[in-house]
Amino acid sequence: MQAQELGYRENAVGIDPQIVVVTTTWRQSIADNAAQTTIRHGPRARRQTVQTTFPQLLLKHAASRPDAAALREKVYGIWQTTTWRALALLVRQMACGLAAAGLQRGDHLVLVGDNRPRLYAAMLASQALGAIPVPLYQDAAASEYMFPINNAGIRFAIVEDQEQVDKLIELRADAAQGCPQIERIWFDNPRGLRHCDEPGVASLDALLESGLRFDAAHSGFFDAQVAAGQPDDVAAMFFTSGTTGNPKGVVHTHFTLLDRAAAGQRFDKLGEHDEVLAYMPLAWIGQNIFSYAQWLSCGYVVNCPESAATVMIDLKEVGPTYYFAPPRIFEGLLTSVTIRMEDAGRIKRWIYAKAMALARRVGPAVMDGKPVAALDRLKYRLGDLLVYGPLRNTLGFSRVRVAYTAGEAIGPDLFTFYRSIGINLKQLYGSTETAVFVCLQPDNAVHADTVGVPIDGVQIKVADNGEIMVKSPGLLKEYYKNPAATAEVLTAEGWYHTGDAGFLDARGHLKIIDRAKDVGRLMGGPNDGAMFAPKYVENKLKFFPFIKEAVAFGDKRAFVCAFVNIDFEAVGNWAERRNLPYAGYTDLAGKREVLELIKECVEKVNADLVADPMLAGSQISRFLVLHKELDADDGELTRTRKVRRGYIGEKFQVLVNALYGGRAEQFIETAVKFEDGRSGSVSATLPIVDAKTFPALKAAA
């Protein structure tokens, strides 16, 4: 095996590591030497260890820059600012109130709600006492809270509003199967709760008043509690989505979270003058890293939107310089752009089409600082003036200096679209268990098909079976009360099993293929033995604005089939412009014209796949458009909107059988849950469509 040593000097990380990269291909990586393929930082890498806690950082900011903005929240259309001094005082009062109520070091406190300054203060207040905040998804059903609350033995909860209070009261009332141990529930928004007489339920204002009295009677208590905190103390617990069983509580310390936050800070040169918009769920580790851990590490401003409905408006008003979103957000933004352009006049559509053709050709090179012909550069500047600049402003990205996407794989075409219009969108690789930051893409070294290079402190190796393994200071301490699961993912040598299949390319960049358990092989037929990577195929489909979600099947099958969810807004707009009437989602999804539209998208994906010798066999032979949208409330998606492919395959087994059984259509009736909690069913006879596939290209001799 030949190794190539690359010395990075004055790089984006601000360090001078000696990175050893094994030049390898996918097949070499998997078959020959994957277990030895390791990237590691050498002795000259200057790691900076973090020896502090979140509350200690808060007090540091409050002392050094008391009047600087820490948080902003939009209330009734007006942005309200909370300074570091005011935030520190709020946290002091809340921590003292919680102490008076009986919260002790090592206890767990559940947090549920949207991004609100007082919920951020609640996290800091619990950490100041040595307690452990456990954020849960605000849109989850009450039954989904049961396992985390009981698993962590939670007695106290701080929530946003009446909806969350009602869920917890419902659980507390069920002594047999619920959470009867819940003693106290505090709410932030009093709407609908002013006359609530449930025992143990009170407003945060009442908690703060109690805290004021406790602080006056116990002078020095808060400061002593904060000073007693250690970097290795548990800082938070995040529950996984539980796709294959009960969710697992991922335990992180102050050190693991802050070490990775600081590493990301150095990598992208973040500072106190940056701004972010906090709009993702508090329960998601990504939100906690970007809008909590890095917020306290860097001291920048976190902006909380008024509501989920105003996020796009608030995004434009704030103009964040640092932005993070999962691929589905970028997919939705692109869909909205596509719909608006379809409704534009002929001249505007022509200008947009010409400008985007140029952007796709030279935009990524301009972003990476690569040489571009003088005429193309001039045309691109004109395009920036007429199209790209206004488009960035419309999307709210006019001030973005660094944008990241993670959470699941992003389609290369979607990724390239944003970079081509001048948005410095990059990919990162990580997970809840790694405190997010494992690999990041350096500026001017961004590739659509990779997730970057390991950052400071990270080692990566590829196991014999192609699984990526990670060693990092940011690894979880454990799965709470689950030593067996902990032992499955953490080796005795400190390596973490990611469960992802991938390899390191010749440039030292990590390339992810799919979840290791999802990568399969076709069996039988003309593509017998061909690799099948469902997520790769699904992402290809979702680049089209008309396709919101897709689920591909093919492992141990003779050919690939797929379920498709149409984007109701995009396809509805398309139908209206063609005077095609429809009565709702199910009706629209079954229209012959819509099936032809989706068939065109599928066949374009097949045409793209044929150019990839490894994945040419993954072309979609048959597909159907589902009669309902996949929904987290129905168990088909996780709360982070990831497809539960195995569950969907079981739930819609009759449709899978019809696809592979050669049927032309199939009737199905499906139980659904409505937003108001009621249950019902939706039924339809779904047409099954055959798509054109293409012969694999022969490799040049």
pLDDT digits (tens, 9 = 90+) for 374-410: 999 999 999 999 999 999 999 999 999 999 998 777 7
CB of 485 closer than 8 Å to CB of 479: yes
Give the whole-angstrom CA distance, residue 188 versus residue 286: 23
How many domains does one find in the chain? 3
**Strand ranges (E), 508-644:** 510-515, 520-521, 531-532, 547-553, 560-566, 620-625
pLDDT digits (tens, 9 = 90+) for 680-696: 889 999 999 999 999 87
Backbone angles phi, psi at 158, to 5 degrees: -125, 120
**Same domain for 645 and 526?**
yes
Is the predicted pLDDT of residue 33 greater than 90, yes or no? no
Give the whole-angstrom CA distance, residue 416 versus residue 608: 15
Question: CB-based burial of residue 373 (10 Å sphere; 0-12 exposed, 13-18 middle, 19+ buried)?
Answer: exposed
Write the DSSP string, 364-376: HHHHTT----HHH
Judge whether 44 lies within some domain. Answer: no
pLDDT digits (tens, 9 = 90+) for 453-480: 999 999 999 988 889 999 999 999 999 9
Give the whole-angstrom CA distance, residue 565 versus residue 549: 5
Judge whether 3 lies within some domain. Answer: no
Query: What are the distances in angstroms from CA 5 to CA 17, 39, 118, 353, 578?
Result: 11, 10, 49, 43, 59
**Same domain for 218 and 300?**
yes
**Same domain for 309 and 400?**
no
End-of-domain residue from the set 289, 305, 322: 322
Give the whole-angstrom CA distance, residue 201 versus residue 183: 8
**Same domain for 491 and 558?**
no
Residue 366: CA atoms inside 13 Å, Cβ hemisphere, count?
25
Q: How many residues does the chain have?
A: 701
* DSSP 8-class letter at 618: G
CB of 334 closer than 8 Å to CB of 340: no
Bridge partners (DSSP) of residue 72 are 81, 303
**Same domain for 464 and 528?**
no
Q: What's the confidence (pLDDT) of residue 244? A: 61
Which of 185-189, 341-345, 677-681 bottoms out in mean pLDDT, i.e. has the lowest?
A: 677-681
Query: What are the distances in angstroms from CA 325 to CA 137, 173, 196, 219, 292?
Result: 17, 37, 37, 43, 15
Give the whole-angstrom CA distance, residue 225 versus residue 124: 12
Average pLDDT, integer, range 99-118: 97
Which of 91-100, 167-176, 325-334 bottoms out in mean pLDDT, i.e. has the lowest?
A: 325-334
- Higher-pLDDT residue of 15 and 541 is 541
CB of 623 closer than 8 Å to CB of 602: yes
**Same domain for 564 and 582?**
yes
- For residue 439, give the CATH number of its domain: 2.30.38.10
Question: CB-based burial of residue 428 (10 Å sphere; 0-12 exposed, 13-18 middle, 19+ buried)?
Answer: buried
Q: What's the confidence (pLDDT) of residue 439? A: 96
pLDDT digits (tens, 9 = 90+) for 628-682: 999 988 889 888 788 888 899 999 999 999 999 999 999 999 988 876 667 888 9
Judge whether 288 lies within some domain. Answer: yes
**Same domain for 299 and 357?**
no
**Same domain for 291 and 146?**
yes
pLDDT digits (tens, 9 = 90+) for 217-266: 999 999 999 999 999 999 999 998 766 678 999 999 999 999 999 999 99
Query: What are the distances in angstroms from CA 130 to CA 101, 159, 224?
Result: 15, 20, 11
CB of 394 closer than 8 Å to CB of 423: no
Give the whole-angstrom CA distance, residue 531 versus residue 614: 6
Give the whole-angstrom CA distance, residue 496 versus residue 516: 14
pLDDT band with cut points at 50, 70 and 90 for residue 414: confident
Question: CB-based burial of residue 297 (10 Å sphere; 0-12 exposed, 13-18 middle, 19+ buried)?
Answer: buried
Give the whole-angstrom CA distance, residue 32 versus residue 194: 67
**Same domain for 509 and 588?**
no
Judge whether 242 lies within some domain. Answer: no
Is the predicted pLDDT of residue 359 greater than 80, yes or no? yes
pLDDT digits (tens, 9 = 90+) for 51-67: 999 999 999 999 999 99
Is the predicted pLDDT of residue 32 greater than 50, yes or no? no
Predicted TM-score (pTM) of this structure: 0.84
Q: What's the confidence (pLDDT) of residue 698? A: 62
Give the whole-angstrom CA distance, residue 265 versus residue 294: 7
Q: What's the confidence (pLDDT) of residue 25? A: 34
CB of 243 closer than 8 Å to CB of 638: yes
Burial readout 200-211 (b: 16 or more C-beta within 10 A, e: otherwise): bbbbbeebbebb
Give the whole-angstrom CA distance, residue 469 versus residue 455: 15
pLDDT digits (tens, 9 = 90+) for 577-631: 999 999 999 999 999 999 999 999 999 999 999 988 888 899 999 999 999 999 9
Give the whole-angstrom CA distance, residue 486 versus residue 479: 5
**Same domain for 504 and 540?**
no
Judge whether 170 lies within some domain. Answer: yes
Task: For tokens 């025992």, name the residue.
Answer: 199
Radius of gyration of the chain (CA): 26
**Same domain for 567 and 681?**
yes
Judge whether 265 lies within some domain. Answer: no
Domain that holds residue 609: 520-690
Judge whether 289 lies within some domain. Answer: yes
CB of 179 closer than 8 Å to CB of 172: yes
**Angle, alpha carbons 8-9-15 (nearest 5°):** 90
690: left (phi over 0), alpha (psi -120 to 50) or beta: beta
**Same domain for 558 and 416?**
no
CB of 565 closer than 8 Å to CB of 629: yes
- For residue 683, give the CATH number of its domain: 3.30.300.30
3-class SS letters over 271-313: CCCCEEECCCCCCCHHHHHHHHHHHHHHCCEEEECCCHHHHHH
User: What is the pLDDT of the chain when averaged over all its residues?
Assistant: 89
Q: What's the confidence (pLDDT) of residue 642? A: 83
Judge whether 481 lies within some domain. Answer: no
